[in-house]
Amino acid sequence: MAGKAKQIYWAVRRVLTQPPGAMVEQWESQTGDRVLPEDHFETLVYYADGPVNLYQLRQWYEPLKALDAEAPAVIVCRSVTAALELLDESPLPVVYASRVEDLENLVDRQRFSMALYVNQNTRNFQMMRSNTMLHVFISHGESDKSYMVSGQTKTYDYSFIAGEAAADRLAAHLINYDVAAKTIRIGRPQLDTPPATTAPALPEDDRTVVLYAPTTEGDRPSMRYSSLASHGVAMMQALLASPRHRVIFRPHARTGLFSEEHAAAREQIDAMIAAANITDPSAGHLSDKTATFDWQLQAADVCIADVSAVVIDWLTTGKPIVVTKPTNPAAPVPTEGFIASIELLSKKRAGDIVTILDEAATDESQAEQRRTWTYYYFGDTTPGAATRAWLDACRRVRAERDEWLGHHDVTAADPNLPAEPHRIVNDIQELDIES
């Protein structure tokens, strides 16, 4: 019975993990004549997720373009749907590799010195089979979420981190992790470049532009930081009724994937914005559907966000911010860093958001506090500093890998191991193991 169950499991697994045939055919028809140069690419950018998480990769386009100029880079996708989407927009070549065999063949044909990972997808581990390159976690934003202190961080040869805050966070929360040896600070190079997306035209008037950017509801209790279902509607009712404010509503790309309640709140707020614009066309409220999160930092005057990377990125603008308090007790509220230093907006006070925004805009002590925290999180934020740190970090990793391989042959057999461990093989053969 156990053997039969195992056969059923693997049959179902093969069906569920098989990429859609039509999508694969489309990929092959669009790339069939393409020939990638061999022994050319030095940087492997690994992406194992589907299209819904492409925002994690898109934010790296400009830094990757700068890197590509000195260490040619290619994006490797494990999802054919993501690969097809990237094919039309990516500034770098894209490769679709559905199987581990495809990964190994690609590595054999190229000269990769490092692999970069933007998230903690479980299939990252398949790429990490390769011992001819160094593996670097670059993440997709700096935040005080529990995600940032995952034990998975230990898997990589290095983690590129934004600054002192990330180093302190890892040191405080990861057991037996050598922060000094395993992390390299690079700031936030994405903030060095102009927005990748052209900002929608907003009316030019004296309204205060409010960015509301709730995070995802999360796929597990410890990540349920979203205010969308708890605070969102009440805040939007107050702001949309105010003649002094204009709303940019920018929910997380994954909103509604794990919660019907959050999906419904998103739809309700979209409908509220549409109705408000009909009532007063000059209001110019916006349900933001643009591809990237960058232009909003310049267009908005004030931000409402949850415990997320949006908060930390917003600090660099120097403009006021209000951070919501998660209502799910399983989502840990940071006890250190910027978020721990301010009063969080409770669900009970969500309807008072207009008054709270006015207070945030006029409190000069908050402005000075934000400047101090910005340096703690990102270090030097003068234009170009983070990009230089990013390129220097990549050079260091490549040089270290090349230096090591110059003295070691990773493909050679260990001379200390017996060529034929007969005793072990014979012992195994004698065991009655059901395969």
**Per-residue pLDDT at 336:** 87
CA dist 58 and 64 (Å) reads 10
Are 137 and 147 in contact, with CB atoms under 8 Å apart? no
| pLDDT tens readout for residues 110-158 | 999 999 999 999 999 999 999 999 999 999 988 877 788 899 999 999 9
Strand 73-77 versus strand 286-287 pairing type: unpaired
Whether pLDDT at 162 is above 60: yes
List all residues 6 or more positions away from 378 whose beta carbon is below 8 Å from its beta carbon: 142, 162, 163, 187, 188, 191, 312, 315, 316, 386
Tokens coding 328: 């799910």
CA dist 214 and 208 (Å) reads 19
Among residues 139, 112, 142, which one has the least CA distance to residue 127?
112
Among residues 260, 193, 238, 192, which one has the least CA distance to residue 349?
238
Among residues 108, 99, 120, which one has the least CA distance to residue 44?
108
Alpha carbon distance, N-terminus to C-terminus of the chain: 13
User: Quick one: DSSP state of residue 228?
Assistant: I
User: Quick one: DSSP state of residue 315?
Assistant: H
Q: Which of 321-335, 392-406, 416-430 has the highest mean pLDDT?
A: 392-406
**Per-residue pLDDT at 409:** 86
| pLDDT tens readout for residues 210-225 | 999 999 998 888 889 9
| pLDDT tens readout for residues 369-400 | 888 999 999 999 999 999 999 999 999 999 99
* pTM to 2 decimal places: 0.79
Tokens coding 389: 């740190």
Among residues 364, 319, 359, 362, which one has the least CA distance to residue 343?
359
| Residue 3 dihedral angles phi and psi, to the nearest 5° | -65, -40
**Per-residue pLDDT at 385:** 96
Q: Helix or strand or coil: residue 75?
A: strand
**Per-residue pLDDT at 79:** 95
Q: Please name the residue ranges forming H helices in 2-143.
A: 2-17, 21-31, 55-58, 61-68, 80-87, 100-109, 124-127
Tokens coding 206: 């004296």
Tokens coding 1: 């019975």
Segment holding 114, helix H or strand E: strand 114-117
Are 27 and 80 in contact, with CB atoms under 8 Å apart? yes
CA dist 59 and 221 (Å) reads 26
Domains of the chain (ranges, CATH numbers): 30-140+382-429 (3.40.50), 208-378 (3.40.50.2000)
Bridge partners (DSSP) of residue 74 are: 44
- Residue 433: band (very low, low, confident or very high) from pLDDT cuts 50, 70, 90: very low
**Per-residue pLDDT at 12:** 46
**Per-residue pLDDT at 432:** 39
Tokens coding 80: 């054919």
Query: Which residue type occupies 220?
Result: R
Q: What is the largest CA-CA distance in the chain?
A: 84
| Residue 210 dihedral angles phi and psi, to the nearest 5° | -110, 120
CA dist 138 and 63 (Å) reads 11
Mean pLDDT score, 7-32: 69
CA dist 74 and 40 (Å) reads 10
User: Quick one: DSSP state of residue 37?
Assistant: P
- Residue 414: band (very low, low, confident or very high) from pLDDT cuts 50, 70, 90: low
| Residue 388 dihedral angles phi and psi, to the nearest 5° | -65, -40
